[in-house]
Structure formats: structure tokens, C-alpha cells
Amino acid sequence: MEKVDWKVEGMDCTNCALTITKYLKKEGLDDVKVNFIGGDVSFVLNKDQSKEKLAKGIEDLGYHVASELPTSNSKPPTKFFTNHFQRFLFCLPFTATLMLHMLPWHIHFLMNPWIQLFICLPVFIVGMGYFGVSAFKSLRRGIPNMNVLIAIGSLAAFVYSLIGTIGNMGPEYVFYETTATIITLVFLGEWIENKSVSTTQKELNKLARQQKVMANMIAFDDEHKEQIFPVENSQLRVGDLVLIKNGEQVPADCKILWGDAHVNEALLTGESKPVYKQKKDNLIGGSIVTDGTLKAQVTAVGKDTVLSNILNLVKQAQGEKPPIQQLADKISAVFVPVVIGISILTFLLNYFAFSVTATDSLMRSIAVLVISCPCAMGLATPAAIAVGLGRATKKGILFRNAKSLELFKNITTVVFDKTGTLTKGQFIIANFETTIAENEFKQIVFSLEKYSTHPIAKAISEQWKINNPINWKKIDEIKGIGIKAEDTEGNIYFLGKNDTHNEHTAYLSKNNEQIGWFDMDDEIREEAKAVIDYLHSKNIQTILLSGDSKERSQKIADAVGITKVYAETSPEEKLKIIEQLNNASPTAMVGDGINDAPALAKATIGISMSDASHLAMQSAQVVLMNNGIQHLPLALGLGKHTFTTIKENLFWAFIYNVVAIPIAAMGFLQPGIAALAMGFSDVVLAINSIRLNYKKVI
């Protein structure tokens, strides 16, 4: 099993994405995700599948796999036109010339149908070269796309006019300008649509651009003298040394070896205030050194960097389909054949039932084909999600899937862990007491805590660090309870909670006999009170769920304004409490420790901190990258307003087709105007989605 990520060019709308999705699923592939906005296609490749065969299949559908593949099929064919705007500019002079014969003063030579045919032919060839070929390929695969409607409409007008020309039937049977207008204006509409849709990717494109920069690589000559020369960061490898000067961008994930500086990590955290970094600190590729000069060693490159992982997360989230999109996808999947049926019915009813002339009946039928837009319904969700995810990412909020954006609208309860969530998790040892020698007590505690990722354990490991830790025969961390270990002499040590006492942070016992305890002090996050007050103002209940003692938990709860507290809870108890709360109403859980992971996974939405344990981050659907909860209200607001935008987009898309198709069928809409209106319907949705970038959401 292999996860494959491709870039596929040529997707214009969700119908294109559905076409590729159906093809890949038909080939037996699993976990297929296609995002037409970014051109990202991912799937799980089975052992008996060939990348080359799948790439060729996608090429046969009319798209191009831009990813590097060991096959000649990966090379795009040479094209005269590279985009719709170029096609529009080519077609425009011919179409404008054809339209001249419709002016009140007639240009006599343009009234000749053979001359009109000659002028229309280049436009028709270019149009069929794109719409016709795409339509044919999609029909051959049994998955008709939107271009089928455009191709049939323009082809019908052209063939009808050609028959009228050959049969010398008169000007009322010649509509070459209709063919040319449809093709030309659809090219214009699709170009404008593509530009509008690409704007929804603005924030993500900014991040992507941060991945390619020049780096000052450090090397040593034969005399061991330091030499510095510029290289593109794509050429860097793990272990390379780099010099990062004041004002430069960090070229890759690094660890500082020399120097100190202030670093702006706004592209990841949304916080413009520079962070102080010194020797042994980690640097994130893409951040900016605002003050100072550093020498650092590369720790990750390419797809392994933090920034690359963030972009991949966002792409995966864009490829996800929230529940509200499922109805639109089902309609889009059958839209083309249904519209063709409506178009045929329009012709038959107008001609036979309402005695409309054959020419007018055909024009109405063509207008129905051209005005119909499955793209709008398919674009409604992806466009809003692209903008919502882009704004969230800019502010340091990562959504692992698009479903979370929709689920936020129902959240009525937010549950907080205490340590590292409401508090900073930056502990200091306030006091300790032991019945054994102080150095021995510290040695035992350090030797136990060094194996834990809990914030308290990290603080102990930092403050009581020694060079001769105990080598345990066996050690085991019991989530939410403590650490148990056995030394080489068979003594059993336990550091953690005490069932009979809870006055202190942790107790140390040897062979079930208490030999000491210690207390830790933790500072409440500055933003905690304001975040809790905001949630209360939105009638969202807040709960503190902690494994710490009742006294310390209640003290923190009182300070930030939380009235409901569950204290001294094990991971299993946390899981049960979250399950009960979920059954009562949709619940979000905010946590950062290993013991929070099950509860985060169980909650309607799990929210983790960026400095949380790896397990907690993997269990959460949302990650706050700014080392705090200050952007939790923004995450909630973006989730709700993104869902609202999706509903507005879907409403417009449905109403557009419900209203436009009957108008076209009754003859109130000419095919040329219908072609332009079809393209601009998507622009309206894109503009409405882009509003999310500037809309007040909290």
C-alpha cells in the first residue's frame, strides 16, 4: 500500500473532480481525494496497480498529471493555446466580425452564409478542440462532464446553420454567430471563473511561496576554512550547515548551533511579535529572522518540514467533503444527462405543443444547454472551504478535515484540560520533601520523569537534570496516573497520584512506601479569562476536565470563570465524561497531553495545541499553532461563518439553475447571453466566498 499525491492540470470545476474520482474508484483505489481548486489528487495505491496506467487513464479523460512519473505520458502535449484567455482573444475578432451583420445598417458581403461559415470555422475548430475533445473523452469513459453541454449546444447551432447554408434555406436558418458567441463567451467566462477561484487560494499560495528561497550554505575547504555560497533550499540536505542573516528567511527546518536572534513566525502562528531564539532552539522553515545572525544545522527538508506538513494538512482538508456537499455532488453527478433531457424536452414542447418555429425552438433548447451550470453547485463548498482554511492557516489554526468547519456550527459545550491548556505548562518546582537523601530523591525523580512527555515531567527533567540517571529494568507510564519502574535489584518505584493524599503535585514511593513528594507552580495563560468570557457571551458552556487535584483544578477554574469542574480523572474517566457530554450536545475538547488523546478523539471536535504531545495532535481535528488558546474564538467563528457561506453559495447555485433554465426554455434568454451568464454564475460564488477573508467572524 502506497499513498500517492499528484498534481493534475486541466480541472475547471467540481464535475472534473467527480470525473477523476469516479475513474480512480472504478479502478479499485481507496481513500480517493480530488480537489479541483488546487489540482491535488491523492489515493492509496494497491500492489497490483500501476501509476503509469492510472496516469494514462487520467490523460485519456482530458487532464494532465503534472507530477514526475517515469513515463512519457507525464509530458504534456505541445499546445498552441495554454489558457482560456488566449483562446478567447483568438476567437474574439472572428466573433465580433460575425456580429456586425446584425447591426441596423447591413454589411452586404457579411450577409453571405458561406462567408459567415468561413469566419466561424476557426472559432468552431478551437472550441471543438477543447470542449468537443473533453466532452468526447468524458462520454467515452461514461462520466459526462460540463463540456458536453457546451459542445452539444455549439455543435447543434453550427450543424443547423451548415444545413441551412448547403440547402440555401435563407438567413433565418443561419446562426453561425450563435456558435461563435457561445464558444467565445464561455472561454471568457471560464477564464474569469478560474481567476476568481484561484483568488480563494490566496493565503495558501503565500505559504507555498515561502517554501522556495535561496540559502547561505556553509562548507569547509581543504584548509578547513569556512566558505559560504548560495544554493536553492531544495538542494539542502539534513545535516547541512547554513548561515541565516538579519532579515533573511529560514530556508528549512533547522537547529541553532551559534548565535541568537528574534524570529517572526507569523506565517505559522498568525502572531507578528518576534520570538527570541538561541542556541539549541529549533527554527521553522519559512519564518523570518528579524534581528540577529544565526548558524544552524538543517533538521528537515522537503516534505518533512513543518511548513510542508501544514500545507499537506490543508490540502487534505480541502479534499474532504463535508456532509452538506454530498447532496450537491449527487446532483452534479446526474446533472449533465438531466439537462440534456430538459433541452430535448424544451425543443419538443416549443415546436409541437406551442407551435414555435423550428429555429426558435432550437435556440431555446441550446440556451438551456448553455445556461445550465453544474459547476456552481460543485463550487459552492470548495470555494468557501478554501477561503476559510486559508484564513485559518494564516492565523495559525489548522483544520485536519473540512468536516470540522461544519461541525463548529453546533458546538454548545467546550471542555478544557488544565495543564498546558488553560495554564502555560511552564512549571517550576515550588517545594519538595523526602525521607531519603536529597540527591538520591532528585536522581530517582529525574530518572522516572525523563521518560514522560507531560509538561510537569519536562519541567522536572530540565530543572533536576543529572548525568547519571538510573537504568531501569522496566518502566511504564500509566496515562493520567503516573510512572512505575523496576530497578535491577527488583525495587518498585512509583511517581504520581496518591489515592489517600492529594495536597501535593506528585508523590514518590518505593515498594509501596512513600519516600517523598514535590509541588509545582504553573501560570495561567493571559488569554484564558478572555476566551472563557467570549464563550459564555455566545451561550457556550465551559467545563474544566483535569487529572489534577480538586483543590488545584478549582483554583484555576475560579480564576478564569469556569463553574463546572471534573477533577482527579483518569484518561478512561475523561473518555466517559466526553461521551456523556457528546450524547447531550455537540462538544469540543481542548487539550494537549497524552492523557487527553482518547478524549480528543471522542469529542465532536478535538482541539490540540501546537506544542502538545504528538499523540494529542494526531487525535485532534483542529490544531492551534500559536502556543495558546487566544485564537479559539476565531476557530469557532470561522467554522460557523464558513458553513454559513457554503449555505449561501448552495442557495445561489440552486436558485440560479431553477430560475435560469425555465427562462431559457421560454425564449427569454439568447444562447450568447446564456453563455456569458453561465461563466459569471461561478464568479458570484467565488466573490461571496472571498468575503470570508474580510468578514468579522467573532
> Looking at the annotation, which residues are catalytic?
417
Contact predicate 383/197, CB 8 Å = yes
* Three-class SS state of 256: strand
Distance CA 242, CA 503 (A): 50
Other Cβ atoms closer than 10 A to 568: 16
Query: Which ranges of 261-322 does DSSP label H, i.e. alpha helix?
Result: 266-269, 306-319
SS in 3 state form for 625-687? Answer: CCCCCCCHHHHHHHHHHHHHHHHHHHHHHHHHHHHHHHHHHCCCCCHHHHHHHHHHHHHHHHH
Q: What are phi and psi of 281, to 5 degrees?
A: -75, 155
Distance CA 21, CA 25 (A): 6
* Three-class SS state of 72: helix
292 phi-psi bin (left φ>0, alpha ψ -120 to 50, beta other): left
The closest of 629, 645, 590 to 395, measured between CA atoms, is: 629
| CB contact set of 414 (below 8 Å; sequence gap of 6+) | 535, 540, 541, 542, 543, 587, 588, 589, 590, 632
Other Cβ atoms closer than 10 A to 115: 15
Distance CA 540, CA 141 (A): 50
* Three-class SS state of 572: helix
Strands, sheet with 40-45, edge to edge from the N-terminal-most edge strand: 30-35, 40-45, 2-9, 64-65
Contact predicate 690/200, CB 8 Å = yes
Other Cβ atoms closer than 10 A to 184: 29
